């Protein structure tokens, strides 16, 4: 038996969710880097703006799929270490892109996206499998706080580097991402494997030691027995883990719910704000995008504060209640500027930016953290890795399409109209929650599986 390293719960939850900082940093960094890339390469193509920005999300689609399969075989912990290594390499390669290397930078960011997608699929699984049911919402929500912190960190780095020469500025912005990736790699080496992964691979004694790190002693055997019972039932089933089987077999209700929430989170348009806020403000006010880097910092600060609000209320309100509230508030925040601009003339152009801040606030304490909480807890053990990878991939499909199409859409129609379209999608997401997503608050992972898996 391999000896489990003795580490504290705080260490486990900190480094277990630290991958969110990498996720968040690379979500936000292109927001500040893109205006300087435009200057340095004299880039005036909406197509290449969309390609370079969205290429990371394209890679993340496949990274999520890769993580789904690999994490079931090598474990969540090793998947985090591997993702950190890929991230380090991809960040450094981005920083040394040749001048006017549109194709090079696009391909490198696809490679980098493999890591981001893998992290987005693996961290929710690891955190949900390492936390007790009664506090899973709050502790799993730390993942998003890390994402928000990483996003804000990227915006602050962008802001302070804006006074450097354009070529040096964007290269430094992209290269600095290797620092948190190195921290994650070192920290992940001491993380224990998740108990459900260990039991699924018949490493019972190791699982017992890991559970003792995060659960009271009188709960250890009950936890092991519950996981073993689920594993035994799953071992008696036939080939149910193929993608088509997940959506049509006995797992379909939970798979559709989890994947649907993950997909809607991105199709609701949030990354149009996080990737392009300097360009959005520039179009609204007429000021140069490179002089609007304080706005991403403001949006990032709102996002981080909202994540703290979620940590305070996560286990006090039902998941569905918060998602319905958030989706409604986000939808109205997108639709109201279009209505106001239609009804009134000479409206201050910053009215749209004001409503975008409200949108980010609603997003930050509802859909942003809860998506990953639900992805981490809703899927049955036998397909958890693959289903989480699928959910992550669908999430990144949405991010890729929003990142690619937003500059093209705003080149042909007003920003208010584009955001109104996203607002309608937000309201569609609310309907999806009402009709298709079960309540999971306060239930163990095994209880969720037992209640909702349809034989």
Find all residues with CB under 8 Å of 224, minimum gap 6, and list them: 195, 199, 204, 207, 208, 211
Residue 300 · residue 409 · CB < 8 Å: no
pTM of this prediction?
0.80
Residue 344 falls inside a structural domain? yes
315-371: pLDDT as tens digits: 889 999 999 999 999 999 999 999 998 888 788 878 889 999 999 999 999 999 999
Residue 194 falls inside a structural domain? yes
Residue 37 falls inside a structural domain? yes
For residue 418, give its domain range.
9-452
123-173: pLDDT as tens digits: 888 887 887 767 777 777 788 888 899 989 998 998 898 888 989 999 999
Q: Where are the beta strands (DSSP E) in 160-262?
A: none
Q: How many other CB atoms are found less than 10 A from the CB of residue 37?
A: 25
Residue 31 falls inside a structural domain? yes
**Can you tell me the mean pLDDT for 278-300?**
80
Residue 260 falls inside a structural domain? yes
Q: What is the CATH number of the domain that holds 220?
A: 1.20.1250.20
Residue 3 falls inside a structural domain? no
Residue 4 falls inside a structural domain? no
Number of domains in the chain: 1
Residue 220 · residue 212 · CB < 8 Å: yes
Q: Could you tell me the pLDDT band of residue 291, with boundaries at 50, 70 and 90?
A: low
Residue 304 falls inside a structural domain? yes
Alpha-carbon gap, residue 122 to 120, rounded angstroms? 6
């Amino acid at each position: 038996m391999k000896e489990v390293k003795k580490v504290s719960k705080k260490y486990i939850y900190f480094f277990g969710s630290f991958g969110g900082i990498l996720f968040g940093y690379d979500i936000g960094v292109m927001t500040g880097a893109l205006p300087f890339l435009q200057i340095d390469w004299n880039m005036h193509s909406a197509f290449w703006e969309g390609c370079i920005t969205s290429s990371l999300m394209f890679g993340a689609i496949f990274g999520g799929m890769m993580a789904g399969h690999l994490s079931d075989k090598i474990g969540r912990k090793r998947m985090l270490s591997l993702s950190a290594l890929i991230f380090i390499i991809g960040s450094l390669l981005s920083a040394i892109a040749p001048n006017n290397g549109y194709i090079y930078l696009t391909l490198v960011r696809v490679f980098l996206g493999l890591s981001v997608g893998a992290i987005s699929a693996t961290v929710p699984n690891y955190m949900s499998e390492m936390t007790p049911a009664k506090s899973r919402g709050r502790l799993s929500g730390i993942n998003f706080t890390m994402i928000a912190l990483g996003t804000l960190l990227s915006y602050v780095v962008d802001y302070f580097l804006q006074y450097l020469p354009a070529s040096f500025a964007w290269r430094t912005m992209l290269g600095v991402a290797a620092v948190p990736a190195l921290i994650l790699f070192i920290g992940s080496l001491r993380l224990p494997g998740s108990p459900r992964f260990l039991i699924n691979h018949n490493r019972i004694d190791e699982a017992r030691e890991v559970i003792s790190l995060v659960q009271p002693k009188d709960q250890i055997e009950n936890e092991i027995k519950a996981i073993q019972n689920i594993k035994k039932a799953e071992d008696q089933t036939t080939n149910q883990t193929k993608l088509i089987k997940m959506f049509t077999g006995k797992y379909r209700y939970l798979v559709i719910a989890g994947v649907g929430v993950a997909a809607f989170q991105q199709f609701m348009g949030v990354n149009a704000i996080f990737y392009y806020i300097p360009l959005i403000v520039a179009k609204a006010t007429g000021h140069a995008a490179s002089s609007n880097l304080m706005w991403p910092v403001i949006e990032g600060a709102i996002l981080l504060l909202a994540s703290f609000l979620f940590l305070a209320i996560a286990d006090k309100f039902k998941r569905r209640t918060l998602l319905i509230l958030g989706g409604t508030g986000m939808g109205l925040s997108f639709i109201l500027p279009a209505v106001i601009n239609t009804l009134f003339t000479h409206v201050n152009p910053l009215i749209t930016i004001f409503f975008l801040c409200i949108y980010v606030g609603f997003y930050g304490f509802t859909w942003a953290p809860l998506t990953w909480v639900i992805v981490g807890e809703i899927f049955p053990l036998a397909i958890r890795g693959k289903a989480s990878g699928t959910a992550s991939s669908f999430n990144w499909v949405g991010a890729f399409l929003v990142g690619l199409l937003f500059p093209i859409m705003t080149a042909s129609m007003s920003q208010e109209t584009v955001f109104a379209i996203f607002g309608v999608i937000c309201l569609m997401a609310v309907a999806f929650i009402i009709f298709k997503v079960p309540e999971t608050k306060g239930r163990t992972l095994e209880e969720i599986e037992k209640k909702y898996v349809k034989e």
